[in-house]
Structure 1
Amino acid sequence: MNRYEIEDLVGTAEAEIEPALKRIKKTTLDNQRKVLEAFWSERVSQADFNGTTGYGLDDEGRDKLERIYALVFRAPAALVRQQIVSGTHAIRLGLFGTLRPGNHIVFASGGPYDTLESVVGIRPTPGSLAEWGITYTIVPLTESGSLDVKAIKNAVKPETTVVMFQRSRGYSQRPALTIDELEQAFNNLSAYRPNLLFFVDNCYGEFVETREPVEVGAHLVMGSLIKNPGGGLASTGGYVIGEADLVEKAAAQLTAPGVGAEIGPSQHLLREFYQGLYMAPHTVGEALSGSVLAANVLARCGFKCSPVWDEPRSDLILSVEFDSADNLLLFCRAVQSAAAVDSFVVPQPAPMAGYDDEVVMAAGTFVQGGSLELSADAPLRAPYFGYIQGGLTYEHVRIAVENILSEIFSRNGPENPF
């Protein structure tokens, strides 16, 4: 298949996905309005970008940003800090802030993401929840990939404090949890046990829909600024958002009891945090549009993708199935070759902190690990699935898809690309 044939294929796919792209634009508009209204309400000014050093006391720009996040996410309080280095770190703050020895946590959407296994103690690690006498139960999803509310209820014990939900599919083949599905589960479970706390790993889900988990009953949501809410501009950071007392407990874990959110210098990062949040609805819309295009084009070439192009989405991740480790690596390397940064690098599988399996990462990004940017990664384990996400502009994803197909067909031929 030559370049012109590939361009024709992608052009045909673009025509077919137009209704899905219009739906994404409507979501983007609603979310952009929500962010702007929060900026207007808090009267953002140039002075808010100045930042602080040292202890970070009386940092009005930082505190105002957190009030804006609370408004956008429809929550009582927010902790948004550069000192939170990842989504896993943010979740760790929420869990350790709330749980106490003897408590029990239910993972309601199957096993937690790989890097959380060490936090919980599923994989024995110094400093885990297990060392503090906190136990857990994992509730698998149903065969269709939905929450099994009946099984979650059966897993709840007298000592259960938190029910944890992972919105994104992570490294699995189940669909992302929609806000409607979370709302139904929260309502059902809170009627069963009113004192349960619902925590949500919100990574990859922010601004994909018009509502966020706190709006439908989540008590705490956590995520990373180098994913959706940073808009591709935040160079580090994470957030914990929800009930004020729970956010305060998380802040005490981040710094120290007694000082909590009062300290933490913002230094030179506030402008990119503000501008990143401002850009986030648009940039997430670009990434979603690119994901829909990639799903359609790859399906036309014989790949099994999840979600398919016209399925509703609640996160950014597109899963692509492969028949071998070699073909998975070929795909990731093709994604890397289409990156704006480090396009000449050849990704290799390697051990990575927090994972049992070797991981291959195609991550030619401006921000290290910034998965709102076009990237692809996978644990090297059977069955073989690659997970592609992000794209700061739709045009980049379109060009990347063309380059990926060209690379694949030139190596394996059009009759059997993989």
Structure 2
Amino acid sequence: MWVLSCAIPSAYPAHLPKASLSTLTTVRSSSLVSVPTLDHPFVPEVVKAVDSLYPEFRAVDNLVARNTSRVLKAFQNARVGSHHFGGSTGYGHDEAGGREALDQVFAEIVGAESAIVRSQFFSGTHAITCALFAFLRPGDETNVIISFWQLLVLPMIPWRKLLERGTLLGWVLLKILELSIEKFLYLAEDGGLDWDALGSALRPHTKCALIQRSCGYSWRQSLSVDEIGKAIKIIKMQNPNCFVMVDNCYGEFVEMIEPPMVGADLIAGSLIKNPGGTIAPCGGYVAGRRKWVEAAAARLSAPGLGIDCGSTPGDIMRAFFQGLFLSPQMVGEAVKGTLLVAEVMASKGYKVQPLPRVPRHDTVQAHEHFVGTAILAVQLGSREHLLAFCEAVQRSSPVGSFTKPIAGTTPGYASEVIFADGTFIDGSTSELSCDGPLREPFTVFCQGGTHWIQWGLVLGEVLKTI
């Protein structure tokens, strides 16, 4: 097998020698799995992948620079100062302008009229729910939710059963909003949007179209902002009064534009994903048209209170501002991590989504494995392999490396789920984590990473395990 005998290359691929693998030497080993030597932390498969990804990593650096420039300008325009970092107690009436400044900064960054960024959103799903309530009311019989979940392609199964077996957001629609789902938009055969079907999907009474940007727990392509913009145009042409809501989780800063810039009425997401920069300890956001942001805020608090109340005790405001500023860089590292994971796993015969070296539209990387001629998604072919993958990731984490992840039920998830997330903030998928629902086809979803090098180290443990 191949084992490295060269010096450790620079952490950044730009400085790697073009012939780095030519310095490898062949060494006999009783193991069938490549292992790192004492003078190099990466297994050879990872070194080879890093060396080959130089152009892609450089493109990510350009993306980070463009997005950081936009973020910096928004901070400067809002005249952010240290006085904005102070917390407040009780009702939050004496808060020193931090909420207003943070909302202004966030709105400018995503190209929205208004935004509400709050610790009181305890998850992205909570923020999305408040945003949907801005448009819709429980029991409405005239709502159409246009959804792009691959799970919903399954034929001859009522939508209610699909949602019961589906994603967290599907569970919200079923259990909380109690909306009448009149129509789903299925995916095309290539896994993208079915544009022909979308062109005739809406009716005059359609009130809202919901677009999920990320793939979520489904084996499909995540949507680019350009695709979302095209979908919005088609929707508005059919019904100008139809509101468009975008679940923006995992998509922030992965591109140079955001959905409000292409016509989305509202977007929502979590601060312990991309826009928290791995520093925000909690929270979520809603952004978009001012009228509807205020309506969502009234659902978060109460009518008449809106955005003017809510304490932020301690040092949370500083974490929100600093995390938002760091977000483009942290997202860039996560994108590099997905590129590296895809490159290595594909080289080992696993089917990956997205494919290696294709543009990213979110920070999720999924894996399948070919067994014979059948694709058994997570695959790793079985429940046991999915558990083993997540256990390997947990062992490679900075927090809780000594623990073993156990699959179980989680509020809002219809299936058993296993999480590997040795993170400093509980549930912070923007750091480094993987998870997967324990149902066929057993797909593992990898997210985040404060620096791509951690994924390089994790992959060595994963390859030894599976």
TM bin, normalised by shorter chain, reads: over 0.9
Shift of 1:152: 2.7
Matches within 5 A, 1:5-84: 7-57=43-93, 59=95, 60-84=97-121
Code of the aligned partner of 2:52: E
Distance 1:373 1:175 in 2: 22
SS of equivalent to 2:73: helix
SS of equivalent to 2:272: coil
Shift of 1:118: 2.8
Q: Which residue of 2 aligns with 1:183?
A: 229
Q: Can you list the C-alpha shifts for 1:140-187, whole angstroms capped at 9, x where unaligned?
A: 111112222332343322321111100000000101000111111112
More off after superposition, 106-115 vs 163-172: 106-115
SS of equivalent to 2:93: coil
Q: Which residue of 1 aligns with 2:326?
A: 279
Q: CA RMSD in A?
A: 1.5
Shift of 1:301: 1.7
SS of equivalent to 2:148: coil
Q: Which residue of 1 aligns with 2:421?
A: 363
Distance 2:382 2:53 in 1: 29
Match of 1:89 among 93, 118, 126: 126
Q: Which residue of 2 aligns with 1:116?
A: 169
Distance 1:65 1:357 in 2: 37
Q: Is the 8 A contact 1:234 1:272 kept in 2?
A: yes
SS of equivalent to 1:371: coil
Match of 1:106 among 142, 145, 149: 145
SS of equivalent to 2:211: strand
Match of 2:281 among 210, 222, 235: 235
Distance 1:274 1:301 in 2: 41
More off after superposition, 77-86 vs 343-352: 343-352
Code of the aligned partner of 1:330: A
Matches within 5 A, 1:317-356: 317-321=364-368, 322=379, 323-356=381-414
Q: Which residue of 2 aligns with 1:208?
A: 254
Distance 1:27 1:197 in 2: 30
Shift of 1:134: 4.2
Gaps of 5+ in 1: 409-416
Shift of 1:136: 3.9
Distance 1:266 1:149 in 2: 44
Shift of 1:7: 2.4
Q: Is the 8 A contact 1:231 1:276 kept in 2?
A: yes
Shift of 1:236: 0.3
Q: Can you list the C-alpha shifts for 1:9-58, whole angstroms capped at 9, x where unaligned?
A: 21111111111111111110000001000011111111000021111125
Distance 1:150 1:404 in 2: 41
Distance 2:346 2:356 in 1: 9
SS of equivalent to 2:200: helix
More off after superposition, 238-247 vs 136-145: 136-145
Q: Can you list the C-alpha shifts for 1:325-365, whole angstroms capped at 9, x where unaligned?
A: 11111111001111010011111110111112110111111
Q: Is the 8 A contact 2:142 2:206 kept in 1?
A: yes
Q: Which residue of 1 aligns with 2:160?
A: none
Distance 2:255 2:307 in 1: 29
Structure 1's 2 and 188: CA in aligned 2 closer, same or farther, altered over 3 A? closer
Distance 2:125 2:34 in 1: 43
Q: Which residue of 2 aligns with 1:218?
A: 264
Q: Is the 8 A contact 1:75 1:215 kept in 2?
A: yes
Q: Is the 8 A contact 2:419 2:435 kept in 1?
A: yes
Match of 1:3 among 29, 35, 43: 35
Shift of 1:227: 0.1
Code of the aligned partner of 2:177: L
Asked which structure has the greater RCO (Cα within 8 Å, sep 6+), the reply is 1
Code of the aligned partner of 1:114: T
Match of 2:342 among 292, 295, 320: 295
Gaps of 5+ in 2: 1-32, 153-162, 369-378
Match of 1:194 among 240, 245, 264: 240
SS of equivalent to 2:80: coil
Q: Which residue of 2 aligns with 1:411?
A: none
Q: Is the 8 A contact 2:203 2:239 kept in 1?
A: no
Shift of 1:258: 0.9
SS of equivalent to 1:384: coil
Q: Is the 8 A contact 1:338 1:404 kept in 2?
A: no
Q: Which residue of 2 aligns with 1:305?
A: 352
Structure 1's 197 and 115: CA in aligned 2 closer, same or farther, altered over 3 A? same
Q: Is the 8 A contact 1:106 1:156 kept in 2?
A: no
More off after superposition, 134-143 vs 225-234: 134-143
Code of the aligned partner of 2:285: Y
Matches within 5 A, 1:132-143: 134-143=180-189
Code of the aligned partner of 1:3: V
TM-score (norm 2): 0.83
Q: Which residue of 1 aligns with 2:7?
A: none
Q: Does residue 266 of the first structure (1) align with residue 312 of the second (2)?
A: yes
Q: Which residue of 2 aligns with 1:412?
A: none
Q: Is the 8 A contact 1:17 1:309 kept in 2?
A: no
Q: Is the 8 A contact 1:149 1:189 kept in 2?
A: no
Match of 2:303 among 248, 251, 257: 257
Q: Who wins on radius of gyration, i.e. which is larger?
A: 2
Code of the aligned partner of 1:99: L
Equivalenced residue count is 401
